[in-house]
Amino acid sequence: MRPRTRRQKEILDYIAGFIARHGYEPTYAQIARHFGVASKATIAKHIDALERRGLISRRRENGSFILNVVAADDEAVCEIPLLGRVAAGAPLDAIVEDQTIAVPRSLLGHARPETVYALRVVGDSMIDEHICDGDIAIIENRTEAHNGEIVVALIEGERATLKRFYRHGEEVELRPANSELAPLRLPASQVSIQGIFRGLLRPAP
């Protein structure tokens, strides 16, 4: 069954994406802030409607409602290829896998599913961006990046790494999000962009 209104669908997609990224559900206040709604009661009405349609379940725990997405509509989830591993640490050799995974459509933003793939994260160089070892990074397949974007960079055609990208003339800086690690500064000719980071899945423990 599908959500009855566009706003219900937006809320359902937001909840599914939030849970996928963080591993726990958003509060009513967080949902209200995301959509610029002043009243949590308005959000509660939409949640009630989604629950009646069997798309969300709720249970009360420690005085609060716990949300769970039971079944998103067909457009809310899509299959993308899981292609291998990427280092959030020292670059590692590209390793190719041949799998697909289901991800919330909301994680893709404006990107089309056929332009997106996933990589397993290895290491902790992006931990200050809450990108942790074992997470699955959602990547848009692009070969150009703007300064400050998180990219998958291929170094010398062999070693892949996940870092923030900055161009400095004829050089490229690949900057970690970990205060204990130094950035990589390389000739631009040695670095090729393989994709732009779009979202994160955190496997259940």
Instruction: Annotate 111-169 with DSSP letters as a single string.
Output: S-GGGEEEEEEESSTTGGGT--TT-EEEEE--S---TT-EEEEEETTTEEEEEEEEEET
4-37 pLDDT, tens digit each: 688 888 888 888 777 766 667 788 888 999 999 8
For residue 204, what pLDDT is reported?
60
- Given a contact cutoff of 8 angstroms between Cβ atoms, the answer to whether 197 and 151 are in contact is yes
Catalytic, out of 125, 179, 189, 192 = 125
- Checking if the pLDDT of 96 tops 60, the result is no
Residue range(s) in the chain whose domain bears CATH number 2.10.109.10: 75-201
Q: Please spell the DSSP secondary structure of 75-95, one letter per residue.
A: GGEEEEEEEEEEESSS-EE--
Residue range(s) in the chain whose domain bears CATH number 1.10.10.10: 6-69
Whether 9 is catalytic is no
- Checking if the pLDDT of 63 tops 60, the result is no
Overall fold of domain 75-201: Umud Fragment, subunit A (2.10.109)
Banded pLDDT at 66 (limits 50, 70, 90):
low
CATH 3.40.50.1970 fits 6-69, yes or no: no
Q: Which residue has the tokens 């629950």?
A: 51
Q: Which of 143, 149, 69, 137 is nearest to 108 (CA)?
A: 137
Whether 163 is catalytic is yes
- Given a contact cutoff of 8 angstroms between Cβ atoms, the answer to whether 134 and 120 are in contact is yes
147-172 pLDDT, tens digit each: 999 999 999 888 889 999 999 999 99
For residue 162, what pLDDT is reported?
94
172: amino acid identity, one letter: V
Tokens of residue 39, six digits: 């009243």
The structure's pTM equals 0.62
The per-residue pLDDT of the chain, averaged, comes to 82
- Checking if the pLDDT of 186 tops 80, the result is yes
118-131 pLDDT, tens digit each: 998 999 999 998 88
Inter-helix orientation angle 40-52/6-22, to 10°: 90
Segment 134-146 shows an average pLDDT of 91
Beta strands at 171-175 and 159-168: parallel, antiparallel or unpaired: antiparallel
CB atoms within 10 A of CB 70: 12
- Checking if the pLDDT of 95 tops 80, the result is no
Segment 141-145 shows an average pLDDT of 92
Catalytic, out of 39, 57, 163, 179 = 163
Segment 105-129 shows an average pLDDT of 85
Least confident of 82-91, 168-177, 187-196: 82-91
Q: Which of 98, 97, 115, 95 is nearest to 160 (CA)?
A: 95
For residue 74, what pLDDT is reported?
46
Segment 66-71 shows an average pLDDT of 60
For residue 158, what pLDDT is reported?
82
